């Protein structure tokens, strides 16, 4: 058995369909979608987190109770009914799991574990749940106040009150109330004067800005309302997973998606426990891989959640010839001459100096403690240690290295750490180099200082904490800051992507696919997720700019001039370049997106950029100016006319990109995921925009009419045809896609403007895929594709056109027909069991 396939008797999904559950999409609502999803060809539901979340949660990643299924979604009964209905159709159920953190809700009693820890301190049975670093006599920091504690007390805003706390009986108990916030009162302190009472609690109420400098619990990145929990502790792991395992053992749940394992103290250890507890269930980990990074082979998982495939498939549709002219336009609009590397360095440096300063300070404090306790290390000062930590974290080129206390650091981990150290060394004063060497040895868990002092508790803790902070700095500094500042081609600035790579070719895609098929055949492939910064079709429309760079530059220059009278004088250049590309990504034949959606996106993007406005200190006047300008563009006559012409110009390129990207994503090695609604085209931007409701009834009706033979009208329906065709083919030939024997071989193609491959099972070739790429190319129809010879009486049937081809060289134009893609199945004359919606000609209208 392949080491990264599920264990014996465990289900491997063939495809998944992501449902973003919540108050507006309950288990009962999800159950109603099953007939449609079954018809679409989906084999497994992929559900967002199902455990009880904080009040008002719209996403479920802010869990407050691991012993209950979300009541707003329908509770355990609702989940079990949904699973039973899915299983009755032969469909599996995959659930998203959040092991890294819990919510710090308002009021705090919604999280009973946290409430107990706040009330009873170290005497609480939950005292060890949370990842704390508390000095003697200091309480858990609760940075929720709108002003400093002295001001709040003087104003009478913090009061001693009484309330009934759910789960703690019917009697009222003393609480501290601050507006909507409620906090427990430590037993036997309620009769103290208020100021003294506040100082005697097991927690410290503080001004919210204190969190960035003095926080003493591990957060999810820099989100103070999500507190890290210690799942590396056996009791915490068992308590937080008991219900999920109970449902798994009962056959309700079939597999798991693990949120942000890099935040954990020991990702491999956690995943091994999960694997052992489930007997090798299908598990994928949300691991962000850098371009040259591989998933650790010793992780007992099926693979990642698919960002590594997503960026390559998009980059396949990005024309490298557009790189230089678009770089020129970026410099023209932004007024900057900079590199992506510089932007990333500056962004990470800003993060470690601001929102993650507390985490950097904690690492330095650990190092200072280690040095103070070892006479041989005492001359390494706090300041020099902090300088080295900052530079090492800023220079780190990936989320983290995997070093386990007490184990020798793996060669790959050592290489990554030492490469970062080489960069850091160039940025440090030579007097700091000895200290940097010490920090590197301690990061790698090596003996440093006096002999035999390798495995002390503080040193082991540093080995664990350093990579946790590295991951947070990467996430906040690169993806949530630098990728909003770098506007060369913003569709490349995606979660887990490689913006420095302006386009990839077929050979690189084949190499990645072959490696995936060999090592991680049941990993997940994704196009859009709930975390992507823009939907797959928005990326395709923006990517088309690269194939029409000169026309795009002319359009932007003309429209900037035409709207110069309404453009704010203080409009940020990066934000403006992002704005024009966002319009390109969301403007379709139907026109632009709604003004409110555009405005909400631009404000979020600008605050994430952290250059001229911040979440913590918004420049409301400049934001208003940006929004007014951006929304005025949507109705400006010259902008409307310009983008109408643009959409018409790029429609063939966009159509090719949208359909090729989707078909490839659904047929390259791995378990193919479809994020809700992306079986048709969309204009979704970053969350919460991508969590808007999906009209499943409408989609079902359209699919039914296409299955009845209606020719697809427009790109959205063409995408639905392609998606249904690919999912149904996968379901008909699962062995060619996710089994141990699933094969992948490139097809010979005589043009670089097309890519093709064959998927096979133990019995031979089963499915062939061909997709075109980039802008219009003269003579593309005359290029040849060589199909495998299937033997006497057998040929390749096109699922989209119905045409049948023998093995050998076939003209691309003949193979594709009216489509920019081809999906073929080995056919001996009978039906392959994988009919396509709306098979036949396609009019290609609409972008």
474 and 398 within one domain = yes
Whether 21 is in a domain gets the answer: yes
pLDDT at 760 over 90: yes
Angle formed at CA 87 by CA 86 and CA 92, multiple of 5 degrees: 80
Tell me the pLDDT tens digit for each residue of 457-514: 889 999 999 999 999 999 999 999 999 999 999 999 999 999 999 999 999 999 999 9
Gap between the Cα atoms of 676 and 48, Å rounded: 11
Q: In the 8-state DSSP scheme, what is residue 476?
A: I
- Mean pLDDT of the 333-342 span: 95
Angle formed at CA 468 by CA 463 and CA 470, multiple of 5 degrees: 100
Given a contact cutoff of 8 angstroms between Cβ atoms, the answer to whether 202 and 121 are in contact is yes
- Mean pLDDT of the 434-449 span: 95
Gap between the Cα atoms of 135 and 86, Å rounded: 51
* DSSP letters for 421-470: HHHHHHTS-GGGHHHHHHHHHHHTT---SSTT-SS-HHHHHHHHHHHHHH
418 and 293 within one domain = no
Q: Which two tokens stand for residue 586?
A: 């969301």
pLDDT at 135 over 60: no
Q: Which two tokens stand for residue 835?
A: 């009919």
Who has greater pLDDT, 671 or 776? 671
Whether 269 is in a domain gets the answer: yes
Strands 15-19 vs 671-675: parallel, antiparallel or unpaired? parallel
Q: Is 814 exposed, middle or buried (0-12, 13-18, 19+ CB in 10 A)?
A: middle
Gap between the Cα atoms of 433 and 436, Å rounded: 5
**Long-range pairs, 415-422, Cβ under 8 A, ≥24:** 417/443, 417/444, 420/392, 420/395, 420/396, 421/392, 421/395
473 and 409 within one domain = yes
pLDDT at 652 over 70: yes
Given a contact cutoff of 8 angstroms between Cβ atoms, the answer to whether 760 and 742 are in contact is yes
Given a contact cutoff of 8 angstroms between Cβ atoms, the answer to whether 2 and 521 are in contact is yes
Q: How many CB atoms lie within 10 A of CB 782?
A: 12
Domain total in the chain: 3
Average per-residue pLDDT for the chain: 94
CB neighbours of 588 closer than 8 A, spacing ≥ 6? 541, 647, 681, 683, 846, 847
Gap between the Cα atoms of 126 and 107, Å rounded: 18
pLDDT at 2 over 90: no
174 and 55 within one domain = no
Of 197, 228, 259, which one is at a domain's C-terminal end? 228
* DSSP letters for 140-194: EEEEEESS-HHHHHHTT-EEEEEEEPTTS-SSEEEEEEETTEEEE--TT-TTS-H
90 and 78 within one domain = yes
Q: 3-state DSSP call for residue 756?
A: strand
Whether 696 is in a domain gets the answer: no
Q: Which residue reads 């386009």 in tokens? A: 503
Strands 172-178 vs 158-164: parallel, antiparallel or unpaired? antiparallel
CA distances from 613 to 393, 400, 568, 606, 618 (A): 25, 29, 15, 7, 5
394 and 364 within one domain = yes
CA distances from 385 to 67, 79, 391, 437, 465 (A): 43, 51, 10, 11, 15
Beta strands in 12-147 (DSSP E): 15-19, 44-47, 51-53, 63-69, 92-97, 101-103, 140-145
pLDDT-based confidence at residue 830 (cuts at 50, 70, 90): very low
Partner residues linked to 51 by β-bridges: 69
Nearest to 823, CA basis, from 145, 174, 41:
41
pLDDT at 842 over 50: no
Tell me the pLDDT tens digit for each residue of 383-432: 999 999 999 999 999 999 999 999 999 999 999 999 999 999 999 999 99
Of 277, 305, 333, which one is at a domain's C-terminal end? 305
Gap between the Cα atoms of 601 and 534, Å rounded: 10
Tell me the pLDDT tens digit for each residue of 761-807: 999 999 999 999 998 888 899 999 999 999 888 999 999 999 999 99
What is the percentage of the chain residues whose pLDDT exceeds 90?
Answer: 88
What are phi and psi for residue 21, nearest 5 degrees? -75, 160
pLDDT-based confidence at residue 212 (cuts at 50, 70, 90): confident
Of 213, 228, 243, which one is at a domain's C-terminal end? 228
Q: Which two tokens stand for residue 485?
A: 């500042």
Q: How far apart are the first and last CA of the chain?
A: 45
pLDDT at 70 over 80: yes
CATH number at residue 36: 3.20.20.80
What are phi and psi for residue 745, nearest 5 degrees? -135, 130
Inter-axis angle of helices 340-353 and 357-372, to 10 degrees? 70
- Mean pLDDT of the 541-547 span: 98
Gap between the Cα atoms of 77 and 74, Å rounded: 7
What is the percentage of the chain residues whose pLDDT exceeds 70?
Answer: 96
126 and 168 within one domain = yes
Tell me the pLDDT tens digit for each residue of 80-111: 999 999 999 999 999 999 999 999 999 999 99
Given a contact cutoff of 8 angstroms between Cβ atoms, the answer to whether 138 and 200 are in contact is no
pLDDT at residue 829, rounded to an integer: 59
**Bond into 688 cis (ω within 30):** yes
Q: Is 562 exposed, middle or buried (0-12, 13-18, 19+ CB in 10 A)?
A: middle
Given a contact cutoff of 8 angstroms between Cβ atoms, the answer to whether 15 and 41 are in contact is yes
Whether 816 is in a domain gets the answer: no
Strands 15-19 vs 44-47: parallel, antiparallel or unpaired? parallel
Partner residues linked to 827 by β-bridges: 795
Helices in 536-572 by DSSP H: which ranges?
536-543, 549-562
Gap between the Cα atoms of 132 and 276, Å rounded: 28
Q: 3-state DSSP call for residue 111?
A: coil
Whether 375 is in a domain gets the answer: yes
Given a contact cutoff of 8 angstroms between Cβ atoms, the answer to whether 737 and 748 are in contact is no
Q: Phi/psi zone of residue 90: left (φ > 0), alpha (ψ -120 to 50 degrees), beta?
A: left
Given a contact cutoff of 8 angstroms between Cβ atoms, the answer to whether 398 and 290 are in contact is yes
pLDDT at residue 775, rounded to an integer: 80
pLDDT at 843 over 50: no
96 and 235 within one domain = yes
Given a contact cutoff of 8 angstroms between Cβ atoms, the answer to whether 336 and 575 are in contact is no
The dihedral sign for the CA sequence 736, 740, 746, 747: negative
365 and 283 within one domain = no
135 and 223 within one domain = yes
Gap between the Cα atoms of 758 and 605, Å rounded: 41
Given a contact cutoff of 8 angstroms between Cβ atoms, the answer to whether 661 and 527 are in contact is yes
Tell me the pLDDT tens digit for each residue of 360-395: 999 999 999 999 999 999 999 999 999 999 999 999
Q: How many CB atoms lie within 10 A of CB 173?
A: 17
- Mean pLDDT of the 282-306 span: 96
pLDDT at residue 133, rounded to an integer: 63
- Mean pLDDT of the 613-631 span: 96
Given a contact cutoff of 8 angstroms between Cβ atoms, the answer to whether 216 and 363 are in contact is no
pLDDT at residue 847, rounded to an integer: 44
Whether 804 is in a domain gets the answer: no
Q: Which domain holds residue 349?
A: 343-483
348 and 478 within one domain = yes
Tell me the pLDDT tens digit for each residue of 11-30: 999 999 999 999 999 999 99
pLDDT at residue 610, rounded to an integer: 96
CB neighbours of 518 closer than 8 A, spacing ≥ 6? none
pLDDT at residue 138, rounded to an integer: 67
Please count the helices (runs of H) and the strands (runs of E) in the chain.
27, 26
Q: Which two tokens stand for residue 547?
A: 């194939």
122 and 96 within one domain = no
Whether 519 is in a domain gets the answer: no
Whether 825 is in a domain gets the answer: no
């Amino acid at each position: 058995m392949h080491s990264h396939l599920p264990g014996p008797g465990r289900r491997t999904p063939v495809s998944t369909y992501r449902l973003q559950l919540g108050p507006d999409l309950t288990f009962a609502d999800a159950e109603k979608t099953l007939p449609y999803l079954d018809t679409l060809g989906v084999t497994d539901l992929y559900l967002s987190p199902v455990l009880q979340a904080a009040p008002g949660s719209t996403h479920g990643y802010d869990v407050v109770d691991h012993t209950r299924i979300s009541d707003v979604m329908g509770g355990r009964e609702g989940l079990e009914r949904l699973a039973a209905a899915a299983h009755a159709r032969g469909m599996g159920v995959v659930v998203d799991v959040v092991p890294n953190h819990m919510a710090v809700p308002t009021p705090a009693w919604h999280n009973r574990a946290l409430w107990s820890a706040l009330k009873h301190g170290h005497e609480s049975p939950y005292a060890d749940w949370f990842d704390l670093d508390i000095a003697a006599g200091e309480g858990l920091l609760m940075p929720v106040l709108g002003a400093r504690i002295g001001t709040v007390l003087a104003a009478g805003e913090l009061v001693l009150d009484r309330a009934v706390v759910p789960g703690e009986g019917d009697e009222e108990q003393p609480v501290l109330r601050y507006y909507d916030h409620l906090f427990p009162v430590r037993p036997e302190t309620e009769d103290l004067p208020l100021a003294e009472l506040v100082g005697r609690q097991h927690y410290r109420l503080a001004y919210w800005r204190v969190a960035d400098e003095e926080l003493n619990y591990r957060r999810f990145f820099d989100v103070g309302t999500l507190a890290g929990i210690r799942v590396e502790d056996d009791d915490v792991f068992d308590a937080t997973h008991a219900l999920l395992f109970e449902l798994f053992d009962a056959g309700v749940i079939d597999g798991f998606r693990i949120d942000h394992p890099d935040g954990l103290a020991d990702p491999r250890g956690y995943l091994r426990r999960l694997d052992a507890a489930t007997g090798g269930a299908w598990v994928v980990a949300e691991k962000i891989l850098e371009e040259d990074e591989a998933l650790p082979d010793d992780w007992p998982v099926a693979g990642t959640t698919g960002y590594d495939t997503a960026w390559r498939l998009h980059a396949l549709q990005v024309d490298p010839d557009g790189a230089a002219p678009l770089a020129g336009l970026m410099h023209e609009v932004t007024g900057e001459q900079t590199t992506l590397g510089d932007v990333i360095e500056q962004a990470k440096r800003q993060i470690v100096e601001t929102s993650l300063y507390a985490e950097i300070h904690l690492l330095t404090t650990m190092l200072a403690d280690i040095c103070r306790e070892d006479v041989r290390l005492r001359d390494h000062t706090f300041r020099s240690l902090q300088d080295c930590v900052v530079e090492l974290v800023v220079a780190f080129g990936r989320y983290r290295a995997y070093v386990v206390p007490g184990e020798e650091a793996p060669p790959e981990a050592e290489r990554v750490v030492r490469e970062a150290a080489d960069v850091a060394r160039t940025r440090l004063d030579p007097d700091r180099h000895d200290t940097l060497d010490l920090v590197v040895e301690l990061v790698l868990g090596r003996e440093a200082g006096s002999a035999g002092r390798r495995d002390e508790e503080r040193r082991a803790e540093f080995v664990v904490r350093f990579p946790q902070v590295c991951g947070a700095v990467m996430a906040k500094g690169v993806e949530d800051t630098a990728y909003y500042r770098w506007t060369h081609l913003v569709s490349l600035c995606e979660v887990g992507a490689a913006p420095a790579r302006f386009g990839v070719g077929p050979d690189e895609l084949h190499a990645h696919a072959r490696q995936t098929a060999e090592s991680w055949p049941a990993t997940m492939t994704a196009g859009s997720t709930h975390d992507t910064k823009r939907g797959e079709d928005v990326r395709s429309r923006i990517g088309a700019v690269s194939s029409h760079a000169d026309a795009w530059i002319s359009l932007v220059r003309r429209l900037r001039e035409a709207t110069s009278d309404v453009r704010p004088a203080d409009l940020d250049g990066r934000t403006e370049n992002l704005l024009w590309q966002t319009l390109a990504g969301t403007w379709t034949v139907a026109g632009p997106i709604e003004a409110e959606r555009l405005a909400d996106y631009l404000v979020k993007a600008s605050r994430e950029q952290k250059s001229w406005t911040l979440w913590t200190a918004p420049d409301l006047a400049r934001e208003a100016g940006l929004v007014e300008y951006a929304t005025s563009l949507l109705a400006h006559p010259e902008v409307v006319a310009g983008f109408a012409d643009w959409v018409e110009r790029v429609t063939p390129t966009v159509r090719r990109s949208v359909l090729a990207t989707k078909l490839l994503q659904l047929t390259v090695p791995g378990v193919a995921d479809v994020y809700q609604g992306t079986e048709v085209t969309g204009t979704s931007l970053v969350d919460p925009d991508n969590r808007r409701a999906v009209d499943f009834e409408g989609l079902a009706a359209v699919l039914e009419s296409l299955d009845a033979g209606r020719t697809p009208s427009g790109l959205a329906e063409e995408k639905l045809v392609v998606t249904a065709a690919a999912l149904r083919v996968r379901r008909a030939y699962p062995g060619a896609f996710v089994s141990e024997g699933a094969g992948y071989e490139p097809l010979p193609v005589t043009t670089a403007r097309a890519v093709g491959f064959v998927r096979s099972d133990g019995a031979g070739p089963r499915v062939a895929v061909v997709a075109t790429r980039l802008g219009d190319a003269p003579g593309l129809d005359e290029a040849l594709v060589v199909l495998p010879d299937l033997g006497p009486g057998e040929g390749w049937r096109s699922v989209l056109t119905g045409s049948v081809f023998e093995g050998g060289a076939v003209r691309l134009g003949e193979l594709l027909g009216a489509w920019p893609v081809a999906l073929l199945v080995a056919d001996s004359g009978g039906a392959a069991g994988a009919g396509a919606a709306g098979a036949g000609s396609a009019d290609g209208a609409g972008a």
